[in-house]
Amino acid sequence: MPLGKVYITILNWNGWKDTIECLESVLRNDHTSYQVIVCDNGSEDDSLEKIKSWATGKLLNEISPENPLYSLSFPPVPKPISFVEYTRKELAAVCPANRSDAKLILIDNEANLGFAGGNNVGIRYALARDDFSHVWLLNNDVVMMPDALSHLVRRMNEKKDAGMCGSTIPYYSAPNTVWTLGGGIYNKWLSRSHSIGNMEPLRDAPSRFDVEGTMDYLAGASMLVSRAFLHEVGLLNEEYFLYFEEPDWALRGKGKFSLAYAPESIVYHKVGASTKLIDEPGISNRSSKFHAMKSHLLFTRNYFPLFIPLILARIVFNVFVEFLYRIAVRLKIKNGAV
């Protein structure tokens, strides 16, 4: 097995522009042994054709020079970029010995399998070849510093019992403000989770040891997972279509593997872009809201069943509040107040 080879899995759903910007960033990384797997979750915006057109040099990454992160994905990396493509059904017939040296592997999942199911297709591809040390789950709506992956691998090699390692993740739109440091903390008594360092200035970030001492799970936007963890703990739980996959995975590995954090690994995140969280001002997308509630219930049932009544009460309250908010917004629109 090549020392330190990493499969980078990127899940795309109707977001080819973000994915191309992400790929331009990823292909600048200084970790030399890697392949990129893009799994498309049944996109309806011609994403795979757009990504293939970009890989052949026919489509450019469009980004404003005024963007403070411009240099992370522009000018374009040399083209063409070698790629192979499969459908999810075709992969079942591909012999593990049939390895490809293509830098980019495109997989058509043929349906929206959710975050866990979509990423698992790419992870299964890596496991079938078994020629890697780590898999890096990376959101399509991020861009990375060139040494982000190298710092993750280095920290995992330092912390021998670690099964997963997270990055410092600032907001893409506010590069000096933290979205999360590594991951988050889950309070079972309040049935609430929060991202470590959220909305704090990047310069005030706590130490690596403080983060690792409090972190309960890693953020799926940037999550390096070891081969040993995948073999012993298994894949992401596909019961969760969206949300709570990360704390579930961490809890399944608890007692077998620790969690690590590489503060020098910097990945900028367009928070909400990959799930299209907003469909009108101030109101969360109904589908995302539904999956968040469903996954929260499932997670609580699996690990903290005594707290289910609390979750149900919170769901009823949140639905009622959003119902009132929607009425208020519509009344303001009707009266010409907005």
The per-residue pLDDT for 92 is: 75
In the chain, count H helices and then E strands. 10, 15
State whether 151 and 79 are in the same domain.
yes
Q: Are residues 255 and 310 in the same domain?
A: no
Pairwise CA distance, residues 289 & 322, whole Å: 11
pLDDT in tens, 65-109: 999 999 999 999 999 999 999 999 888 776 555 678 899 999 999
Question: Looking at the whole model, is its pTM more than 0.85?
Answer: yes
CB 179 within 8 A of CB 160: no
Indicate if 191 and 228 belong to the same structural domain: yes
Last residue of a domain, one of 249, 271, 293: 271
Tens of pLDDT along 278-333? 333 333 466 777 888 889 889 999 999 998 898 888 888 877 887 888 887 777 77
Instruction: State both tokens at 38.
Output: 């893009």
CA distance 133 to 131: 7
Q: Is residue 113 part of a domain?
A: yes
| 318 and 175 belong to one structural domain | no
Q: Residue 285: its pLDDT value, please?
A: 61
Do residues 81 and 110 both lie within one domain?
yes
**CATH value at residue 244:** 3.90.550.60
Asked whether residue 1 is assigned to any structural domain, the reply reads no
Do residues 134 and 283 both lie within one domain?
no
Is 252 a member of any domain? yes
> Is residue 14 a part of any domain in this protein?
yes
Which of 111, 95, 61 is closest to 81 using CA atoms?
A: 61
Q: Identify the residue whose tokens are 């709506």.
A: 141
Tokens of 122: 């790419």
Tell me what pLDDT residue 310 has.
86
User: How do the pLDDT tens digits run along the chain, 338 residues long?
Assistant: 445 899 999 999 999 999 999 999 999 999 999 999 999 999 999 999 999 999 999 998 888 899 999 999 999 999 999 999 999 988 877 655 567 889 999 999 999 999 999 999 999 999 999 999 999 999 999 999 999 999 999 999 999 999 999 999 999 999 999 999 999 999 988 888 999 999 999 999 999 999 999 999 999 999 999 999 999 999 999 999 999 999 999 999 999 999 999 999 999 999 976 555 433 333 346 677 788 888 988 999 999 999 889 888 888 887 788 788 888 777 777 676 54
Domain boundary residue, one of 218, 239, 271? 271
Kindly state whether residues 202 and 295 are assigned to the same domain: no
Asked if residue 293 and residue 266 are part of one domain, the reply reads no
Q: How far is residue 12's CA from residue 285's CA, in Å, rounded to a whole number?
A: 18
Domain enclosing residue 116, as ranges: 6-271
